[in-house]
Amino acid sequence: MSGSPVPGPGGSEKGPRIVTEPDADRPDINRVDCSDCGGGPAEDNIRISWVDTEKGFTEIWHVPECPTYLIERIMGEDGARRAKQRNAWAQASFPAAHQCLQAAAALAAGDTAAAPFVAALTQLVQAQGANTAAFVVLDKWVEILDQHFPPKEPNPKPQ
């Protein structure tokens, strides 16, 4: 039954730890050999896979004790931890930064040359503050900028 998935350690027939049988013929996969451990498809080994625009689906296998895999795992966990810390800091700091921007915008409101810039920036920051878990999408940017800097030619928004 070449090419069929088999449960990995701790997994079940439908569980998350599925590996490919070692004799599977998979020409559509670009397999990279680990220079440290030389691990290959096996039930106890670890597969890391990604999609590359040039090479397509690529995978590398490691034995559990592989130093390269352990370093990559430590770096990945550290990066995730730092990202969570930065996000928590940003969530806590955003309201104060937004208030400072609003106060500065109120002071600049009398400057007629700067008024559209201040209003657009304030509105963009407010749109971002409404959902700090995502970016303000491009169509929202265009909508806000068109409101404060009307285009020379009509640019109706599609429905």
* Spans of all domains in the chain: 5-65, 93-148
The predicted pLDDT at position 5 comes to 46
Write the pLDDT tens digit of every residue in 57-104: 999 999 999 999 999 999 999 999 999 999 899 888 888 888 888 888
Phi then psi dihedrals of residue 51, to 5 deg:
-110, 130
Q: 33: which DSSP letter?
A: -
Residue 151 has pLDDT above 50, yes or no: yes
Using pLDDT thresholds of 50, 70 and 90, give the confidence band for residue 9: very low
Q: Mean pLDDT, to the nearest integer, of 110-139?
A: 85
